[in-house]
Amino acid sequence: MDQPRAAARLRILLGQLGRRSAGAVIAHPTSGAVPPAGFHPQQFQYTRDNSVLTLEQRQFYEDNGFLVIKKLVSDADIECFRNEFERICRKEVEPMRLVVMRDVTIAKSEYVPSQKMITKVQDFQEDEELFRYCTLPEVLKYVECFTGPNIMAMHTMLINKPPDSGKKTSCHPLHQDLHYFPFRPSNNIVCAWTAMEHIDRNNGCLAVLPGTHKSSLKPHHYPQWEVGGG
């Protein structure tokens, strides 16, 4: 472009910039940007915008760190998962990389292996039936509200709660899962937990401390339970 034409365009541009009118666009620094009309400040840190959760449910999760969806998984599916767990206990199936954990105090007291001595099976992703829980559309629909559509199962686990043998070996102290998880970001991690039978305070239900998801990680150690307690 020749100099006369460039000078002319520059004069036009400077003239436009110097003109002030009611409809003129005013620039603002990005560090203090003025929000457009109708903009609402982001109030949800742990949930995603979608049509699944209500505003009340999202706010409850933001405040408390958990959300209860009743009767989400069908009784028929839960029965299938229970039957598969019993097959694992009887060693009728032994999926690769499955970790079976036993209560040593119960195992030593039984002559025949049974589900009463097995307290947990971990990493069941190779078991087709148990992993089906991680693919249930009704579960994924809610998980996506917290993680987005790119979902990955990272820690598959089935917990069994047989009666304590009197050694407090079935007691599990309060803890923060994030202390044990080596992956981040933490705001994209959510646990989908389903009870396989009716639970209450008397038979070892899941316990949470509302709001602690917003606090920092605490020191973790295993407490010195009193031996022989009820």
Domains detected in the chain:
55-168+183-196 (2.60.120.620)
State CA 53 to chain mean position distance: 15
Question: Of the given ranges (67-76, 120-129, 133-142, 215-224), which has the lowest mean pLDDT?
Answer: 215-224
pLDDT at 30: 31
Residues paired with residue 122 on neighbouring β-strands, in sequence order: 99, 157
**Taking the alpha carbons of 11, 14, 16, 19 in that order, is the dihedral positive or negative?**
negative
Let me know: does 209 contact 177? Beta carbons within 8 Å: no
**14-69 pLDDT, tens per residue?**
554 454 443 443 333 333 333 444 434 468 999 999 999 999 999 999 999 999 99
Give residue 26's pLDDT.
36
Please tell me the distance from the alpha carbon of residue 49 to that of residue 92, in angstroms, as a whole number: 44
Q: What are phi and psi of 100, to 5 degrees?
A: -105, 120
Half-sphere CA count of 164, side-chain side, radius 13 A: 16
Phi then psi dihedrals of residue 122, to 5 deg: -120, 155
User: What pLDDT, on the 0 to 100 scale, is given for residue 51?
Assistant: 94
- For the chain, the first-to-last Cα distance in angstroms comes to 91
Burial environment of residue 61 by CB neighbours within 10 A (0 to 12, 13 to 18, 19 or more):
buried
pLDDT tens digits for range 185-230: 999 999 999 999 988 877 778 889 999 999 999 998 887 766 543 3
Tokens of 166: 């009197």
For the stretch 141-186, pLDDT in tens is 999 999 999 999 999 999 987 776 677 777 778 899 999 888 899 9
